[in-house]
Chain A
Amino acid sequence: MRCGMGIEARQVNELFINIDPIQAGGKLTADAMKAVIAYGDGYSVCDNCRKPNRLDYISKPPIAAFHKDLADWLNMDAVRTVPGARRGFQAVAQTYVGKGDPVLLTSLSHYTEFLAVEESGGIAREIPADERKMITADAAAEKIEDIRRETGKVPVLAFIDHVDYQYGNMHDIRAIAKVTQQYDIPILYNGAYTVGILPVDGKTLGVDFVVGSGHKSMAAPAPSGVLAATAERAAEVFRTTSIVGDVTNRKFGIKEPEMMGCTLMGATLVGMMASFPHVKERVKHFDRELENNRRVVDALLSIGGTQLLSEYPRKHTMTRVDTTGSFDTVAETHKKRGYYLSSALEEKGITGVIPGATKVWKFNTYGTTRVQAGYLADAFTAIARENGLSVKE
């Protein structure tokens, strides 16, 4: 069935359990799907835009109230919606980073944080992860001191991922924030894998900014995200325009340069808004998600030769495994080579593992029901047995 010329209707999540590591938290709620249907037209949320003519002031649909609720929920003072977490990184980097300024990242940082620093002319300085693939406060302090010794100045900004995209490990950002505060370095909490998945309290964490991803973790359409700030930092990153045209003498009201005026319009924004009550509720039940993840991880670890590369016990549902000693040994002789695993999973109605991957790969069980998690666990062990691998009972 097609929904346009050459565009097949996508039924991935209706036909399969989707364990793609970046897709699990972005699956739409029913309310978001309904909102997208009603607000698909371009400027659909702007019907009732009145002075001062800015997106976050619109009261119908209740965009202004949503912004307030969102800031309260994150325990921050101000929030803007942005077209993806990366645009939040970009806005903050453009505000604080100048040419040649060192910026603190980590060896597990997402590439878009690097690009935000690059675009601003900054220098990327990574806090190295330890042998457990964890970023520690001690390592952060050591790196800041190294930079100070080398350059005579401290970093102008720090980007720290609470849960990193490589291992799904949870890093002690509160302790890291205590270190950056001592040096007066603004710190951005990258919650691409946490905001909308588990509770996030910006002020308790001691961060200046919270960035979240709508399409990754808030059951919202892409591209969507949030950038929240403390009152002090909001005045800087959400500063209003002062430019004046020399011929027309035009000014542009309270538009914000870092937001390029209005940000999310139409289906992305109302999709995020419609999911928000469900998202607020689901973060309270993250323990259920971890329990589902544990069932799948335990099943994988029962297959001889499989190793978990993420921290254990798991604190997040996005997980990295090494099956070089198990599934990959089959790939050497299987007629489908490395593609047999994703093929076998697909035959069982499971998708999201990179086709051809049998060595190191990631999956995410977020959003599965208990029944689906049990099905996933059984499917992995069944595929192992069907291919002659040992499975502990």
Chain B
Amino acid sequence: MVFQATYTLTDLRVLLRETAPRHEFSPDQKAEIQRLLENLERQVASLKQEMLR
């Protein structure tokens, strides 16, 4: 799960690179960001559950 969350952040990082310097996201990119952030929230929740139990 640590890797999954880190890799989700990496995908977000790449989106920042592809849109530098203005970071104006297209509708498709916004949808992708939404999906990635939701995944990240789930992954962080799982980490909390596993590491703090």
Contact = CB atoms under 8 A, between A and B. Distances in A.
Contacts of B11: 30
B10 A349 contact: no
B21 interface: yes
Q: Of A27, A29, A33, A369, which is in contact with the most chain B CB atoms at under 10 Å from its CB?
A: A33
Contacts of A30: 10-11, 13-14
A17 B10 contact: no
Interface stretch (A8-16, A210-218, A305-313): A8-16
Contact of B22 (A33, A38, A349): A349
Q: Of B3, B7, B11, B17, which is in contact with the most chain A CB atoms at under 10 Å from its CB?
A: B17
Contact of A348 (B3, B10, B13, B21): B21
Interface string A190-215: 00000000000000000000000000
A243 interface: no
A142 to B, nearest CB: 47
Given A14-B13, A14-B17, 5 more contacts: A15-B21, A16-B20, A34-B3, A37-B10, A348-B21
B28 interface: no
Given A14-B13, A33-B10, A37-B3, A369 B18 contact: yes
Q: Of A14, A30, A34, A348, which is in contact with the most chain B CB atoms at under 10 Å from its CB?
A: A14
A350 interface: yes
A172 B17 CA distance: 35
Interface of B: 3, 6-7, 10-11, 13-14, 16-22
Q: Of A29, A30, A34, which is in contact with the most chain B CB atoms at under 10 Å from its CB?
A: A30
Contacts of B18: 369
A17 B7 CA distance: 23
A115 to B, nearest CB: 33
Nearest to A30: B14
Nearest to A18: B20
A34 B7 contact: yes
25 contacts: A13-B17, A13-B20, A14-B13, A14-B20, A15-B21, A16-B20, A16-B21, A17-B21, A27-B17, A29-B14, A30-B11, A30-B14, A33-B13, A34-B3, A34-B6, A34-B7, A37-B3, A38-B3, A348-B21, A349-B20, A349-B21, A369-B19, A371-B19, A375-B21, A375-B22
A296 to B, nearest CB: 15
Contacts of B16: 14
Nearest to B3: A38
B20 A15 contact: yes
Contacts of A375: 21-22
B30 to A, nearest CB: 15
B10 A34 contact: yes
Interface string A163-178: 0000000000000000
Give chain A's interface secondary structure class. Answer: helix
Contacts of B21: 15-17, 348-350, 375
A38 B3 CA distance: 8
Contacts of B13: 14, 30, 33
Interface string A105-141: 0000000000000000000000000000000000000
Contacts of B20: 13-17, 349, 372
Closest 9 CB pairs of A and B: A349-B21, A14-B16, A30-B14, A33-B10, A34-B7, A13-B17, A34-B10, A30-B10, A16-B21
A8 B6 CA distance: 19
Contacts of B3: 34, 37-38
Contacts of A29: 14
A37 B22 contact: no
A389 to B, nearest CB: 23
Q: Of B6, B7, B20, which is in contact with the most chain A CB atoms at under 10 Å from its CB?
A: B20
A312 B43 CA distance: 51
A222 B13 CA distance: 20
Nearest to B7: A34
A76 B22 CA distance: 43
